[in-house]
Amino acid sequence: MTQNQTTTEFLYTTYIRSTPQKVWDAITNPEFARQYWGHGNVSDWKPGSKWDMVRGDGSNIVQTTGEVLESHPPRRLVLSWVSPDKVADRSEHSRVTFEIEAMEDIVRLNVIHDQLKDGSEMAKGISRGWPRVLSSMKTFLETGNPLNTWAGDTQSCASKEKAKQQAA
């Protein structure tokens, strides 16, 4: 980000009847994440490593990418976050921090998405996306059944792809 650029941040907090390890696995295990998110997060989760959010529709298209900035399983994970087509533009990179805290028989999960360009497509997208993804994760961890995460969202990648296929 340049010094003159206005940035924004989002904080999402949810409480989940689960364990820190299960929440960590829900974020970092691609097969697990695909079940409630529709995407798998792929990396070795070591600081300095690349990570990719890969569509779960079999296309293996990388939706989002970045670098693992911090990794302290199962308590804290910090990632850079950018669209693959904008990797070269450092001003397009944002940061996501997952803070996982045990509180008796529940977990408090804070997701902080910051260093976002104010008004950017990424800021607009994540303001729709994170509430859906985290609600689906919570439901999946507590019941074993995910939500239809992208129901009614005509802006999601899955919805746009489905519309293209139907138009063809």
Per-residue pLDDT, 2:
46
Domain ranges of the chain: 7-159
Q: What is the pLDDT along the chain (168 residues), one digit of tens a residue?
A: 445 568 889 999 999 999 999 999 999 999 999 999 999 999 999 999 999 999 999 999 999 999 999 999 999 999 999 999 999 999 899 999 999 999 999 999 999 999 998 888 888 888 888 999 999 999 999 999 999 887 776 654 444 444 444 455
pLDDT in the model for residue 165: 47
The whole-number pLDDT of residue 168 equals 52
Which pLDDT score is estimated for 128?
87
Residue 159, pLDDT score = 44
List Cα–Cα distances, 100 to 72, 76, 109, 126, 130, in angstroms: 10, 6, 5, 20, 16
The whole-number pLDDT of residue 123 equals 86
Q: Give the CA distances from residue 95 to residues 39, 43, 67, 81, in Å, rounded to whole numbers and listed in that order.
A: 18, 16, 9, 6
- Nearest 5°: CA angle at 101, between 95 and 104? 165
Q: Give the domain 7-159 fold.
A: Alpha-D-Glucose-1,6-Bisphosphate; Chain A, domain 4 (3.30.530)
